[in-house]
Structure 1
Amino acid sequence: MKKYLFLWIILLIGSWHVVAQANNDGALIRISTDETDLIYRQAPNGRLYQVYLGPKLMHQTDLEHFSPFAKGGSDGSAGQRGWEIYMTSGAEDFFEPALGITHADGNMSTILTYVSSEQKAIDSNATETIIRLKDNQYPLQVIMHYVAYKKENVIKTWTEISHQEKKPIRLNRYASSIIYFERPSYYLTEFNGDWAKEMNMTTQQLQYGKKILDTKLGTRAAMHVYPFFELGFGQPAEEHRGEVVLGTIGWTGNFRFTFEVDNVGNLRVISGINPYASHYELKAGETFTTPEFIFTRSDEGKGDASRSFHQWARNYQLYDGKGDRLTLLNNWENTYFNFDQDKLSTLMVEAKSLGVNLFLLDDGWFGNEFPRNDDHAGLGDWQVMKSKLPDGIPFLVKEAKKAGVKFGIWIEPEMVNPKSNLAQKHPDWIIRLPNRETYYYRNQLVLDLTNPEVQDFVFDVVDNLLTENPEIAFFKWDCNSPITNIYSPYLKDKQEQLYVDYVRGLYKVLDRIRAKYPAVPMMLCSGGGARCDYGALKYFTEFWASDNTDPVERLFIQWGFSQFFPSKAICAHVTSWNKNTSVKFRVDVAMMCKMGFDIGLKDLNADELTFCQEAVANYHRLKPIILNGDFYRLVSPYDTEHMAVMHVGDNQKKAILYAYDIHPRYAESTYPVLLQGLDPAKMYKVEEINLMPDTESGAAINGQTYSGDYLMKVGVRVFSARQTTSHIFEITAVN
Structure 2
Amino acid sequence: MIKSAFSFIFLIIYNVAFGSDTLIPIITAQNALILRIDQKKNLSTIYYGKKLANATEYVLIPQAYRQSIDYSEVANAAYTTSGSQNLLEPAITVTHADGNNSLNLRYVNHEQKKLENGATLLTILLKDPVYNFYVTLCYKSYFAQDVIEQWAIIKHTEKSNVLLQKFASANLHIKAKSFWLTQYHGDWAKEMQSETSKLTHGIKTLDSKLGTRANLFQPSVFMVSLERPATEDEGTVLYGSLEYSGNFKTDFELDNQNNLRIVSGINNYASTYTLKPDEEFTTPAFLHTLSTKGKGAASRNLQEWARNYKILNGNENRLTLLNNWEATYFDFNESKLKELIRDTRKLGVDLFLLDDGWFANKYPRNGDVAGLGDWAPNQKKLPNGIGTLVKEATDNKVKFGIWIEPEMVNPKSELYEQHPDWVVKQPNRPEHYFRNQLVLDLCNPQVQDFVFNTVHNLFINNGDIAYIKWDCNSVIYNAHSSYISNQSHFYIEYMKGLYKVLKRIREKHPKVPMMLCSGGGGRVDYGALQYFTEFWPSDNTDPLERIFMQWEYSYFYPAIATANHVTDWGKQPIKFKTDVAMMGKLGFDIVVKDLSKSDLLYCQSAIRHYNKFKDIVWFGTQYRLSNPTEADVASMAYINNTKTKGVIFNYLVNNRYGAGSIYPIRLKGLDRQKKYKITEICLYPETRSAIDEEKVYTGDFLMNIGFNPMINAQRSSVILSIEQI
Structure 1 runs not aligned, ≥5 long:
1-19
Q: Secondary structure at the match of 1:45?
A: coil
Match of 2:298 among 281, 305, 310: 305
Match of 1:137 among 107, 130, 135: 130
**Alignment partner, residue 203 of structure 1:** 196
CA distance in 1, matches of 2:168, 2:123: 17
Q: CA offset at residue 723 of structure 1?
A: 7.1
CA contact (8 A) 2:650 2:711 kept: no
Evaluate the alpha carbon distance shift between residue 697 and residue 205 of structure 1 in structure 2; reply closer, same or farther with a 3 A threshold: same
Do structure 1's residue 633 and structure 2's residue 624 form an aligned pair?
Answer: yes
Do structure 1's residue 730 and structure 2's residue 721 form an aligned pair?
Answer: yes
CA distance in 1, matches of 2:409, 2:58: 57
Q: Secondary structure at the match of 1:607?
A: helix
> 1:218-273 CA distances to partner (integer Å, 9 max, x unpaired)?
11000000110001111112111001111111000011110010122111011111
The aligned runs of 1:212-231 (5 Å cut-off) are 212-231=205-224
**Alignment partner, residue 92 of structure 2:** 99
CA contact (8 A) 1:255 1:272 kept: yes
Q: CA offset at residue 668 of structure 1?
A: 4.6
Do structure 1's residue 263 and structure 2's residue 256 form an aligned pair?
Answer: yes
Do structure 1's residue 161 and structure 2's residue 154 form an aligned pair?
Answer: yes
> 1:571-618 CA distances to partner (integer Å, 9 max, x unpaired)?
00000111x210000000001111100001112100110000010011
**Alignment partner, residue 542 of structure 1:** 534
CA contact (8 A) 1:666 1:721 kept: no
Do structure 1's residue 120 and structure 2's residue 113 form an aligned pair?
Answer: yes
Do structure 1's residue 285 and structure 2's residue 251 form an aligned pair?
Answer: no
Q: Secondary structure at the match of 2:220?
A: strand
CA distance in 2, matches of 1:451, 1:719: 59
Q: CA offset at residue 550 of structure 1?
A: 0.3
The aligned runs of 1:564-575 (5 Å cut-off) are 564-575=556-567
Evaluate the alpha carbon distance shift between residue 668 and residue 726 of structure 1 in structure 2; reply closer, same or farther with a 3 A threshold: closer
Q: CA offset at residue 124 of structure 1?
A: 6.5
Amino acid at match of 2:638: H
Do structure 1's residue 620 and structure 2's residue 611 form an aligned pair?
Answer: yes
The aligned runs of 1:284-433 (5 Å cut-off) are 284-433=277-426
TM-score for the superposition, normalised by structure 2: 0.96
Do structure 1's residue 47 and structure 2's residue 42 form an aligned pair?
Answer: yes
CA distance in 2, matches of 1:723, 1:150: 47
Q: CA offset at residue 61 of structure 1?
A: 2.1
> 1:274-328 CA distances to partner (integer Å, 9 max, x unpaired)?
1111111111111111111111111110111000000000000000011111000
Q: Secondary structure at the match of 2:723?
A: strand
CA distance in 2, matches of 1:476, 1:405: 17
Q: Secondary structure at the match of 2:302?
A: helix
Q: CA offset at residue 123 of structure 1?
A: 3.4
CA distance in 1, matches of 2:345, 2:154: 53
Evaluate the alpha carbon distance shift between residue 607 and residue 668 of structure 1 in structure 2; reply closer, same or farther with a 3 A threshold: closer
CA distance in 2, matches of 1:278, 1:260: 22
CA distance in 2, matches of 1:313, 1:71: 36
Match of 2:507 among 503, 515, 531: 515
Q: Please identify, of 407-416 and 719-728, the stretch whose mean Cα deviation from structure 2 is larger.
A: 719-728
Match of 2:703 among 684, 688, 712: 712
Do structure 1's residue 80 and structure 2's residue 73 form an aligned pair?
Answer: yes
The aligned runs of 1:439-478 (5 Å cut-off) are 439-478=432-471
Evaluate the alpha carbon distance shift between residue 663 and residue 617 of structure 1 in structure 2; reply closer, same or farther with a 3 A threshold: same
Amino acid at match of 1:396: L
Match of 2:641 among 650, 653, 672: 650
Evaluate the alpha carbon distance shift between residue 342 and residue 603 of structure 1 in structure 2; reply closer, same or farther with a 3 A threshold: same
CA distance in 2, matches of 1:196, 1:114: 48
**Alignment partner, residue 672 of structure 1:** 664
CA contact (8 A) 2:74 2:80 kept: no
> 1:422-473 CA distances to partner (integer Å, 9 max, x unpaired)?
1011111100111111101100000000111100000000111111123100
Give the fraction of aligned pairs with identical amino acids, expressed as a percent: 48
Q: Secondary structure at the match of 1:90?
A: coil
Q: CA offset at residue 376 of structure 1?
A: 0.5
Match of 2:550 among 552, 558, 566: 558
Do structure 1's residue 190 and structure 2's residue 183 form an aligned pair?
Answer: yes
**Alignment partner, residue 244 of structure 2:** 251
CA distance in 1, matches of 2:22, 2:526: 33
TM-score for the superposition, normalised by structure 1: 0.95
CA contact (8 A) 1:230 1:237 kept: no
Amino acid at match of 1:84: A
Evaluate the alpha carbon distance shift between residue 74 and residue 361 of structure 1 in structure 2; reply closer, same or farther with a 3 A threshold: farther
Evaluate the alpha carbon distance shift between residue 21 and residue 576 of structure 1 in structure 2; reply closer, same or farther with a 3 A threshold: same
Q: CA offset at residue 91 of structure 1?
A: 1.5
Amino acid at match of 1:573: H
**Alignment partner, residue 15 of structure 1:** none
Q: Secondary structure at the match of 1:535?
A: helix
Evaluate the alpha carbon distance shift between residue 393 and residue 668 of structure 1 in structure 2; reply closer, same or farther with a 3 A threshold: closer
Q: How many equivalent residue pairs?
A: 710
Q: Secondary structure at the match of 1:399?
A: helix
CA distance in 2, matches of 1:66, 1:633: 35
Q: CA offset at residue 541 of structure 1?
A: 0.2
**Alignment partner, residue 488 of structure 1:** 481
CA contact (8 A) 2:711 2:717 kept: no
Amino acid at match of 2:40: N
Q: CA offset at residue 74 of structure 1?
A: 8.7
**Alignment partner, residue 576 of structure 1:** 568
**Alignment partner, residue 9 of structure 1:** none
> 1:633-667 CA distances to partner (integer Å, 9 max, x unpaired)?
11111112320010010111111111101224323
Amino acid at match of 1:624: D
Q: Please identify, of 310-319 and 42-51, the stretch whose mean Cα deviation from structure 2 is larger.
A: 42-51
CA distance in 1, matches of 2:18, 2:168: 27
**Alignment partner, residue 497 of structure 2:** 505
CA distance in 1, matches of 2:575, 2:61: 58
The aligned runs of 1:145-156 (5 Å cut-off) are 145-156=138-149
Amino acid at match of 1:208: H
| Cα RMSD for the two superposed structures | 1.7
**Alignment partner, residue 55 of structure 2:** 60
**Alignment partner, residue 524 of structure 1:** 516
**Alignment partner, residue 601 of structure 1:** 592
CA distance in 1, matches of 2:537, 2:715: 21
Q: CA offset at residue 347 of structure 1?
A: 0.5
CA distance in 1, matches of 2:382, 2:620: 42
Amino acid at match of 1:506: L
**Alignment partner, residue 34 of structure 1:** 29
CA distance in 2, matches of 1:609, 1:107: 71
Deviating 4+ runs (over 6 angstroms): 20-24, 71-74
CA contact (8 A) 1:111 1:135 kept: yes
**Alignment partner, residue 10 of structure 1:** none
Evaluate the alpha carbon distance shift between residue 395 and residue 100 of structure 1 in structure 2; reply closer, same or farther with a 3 A threshold: same
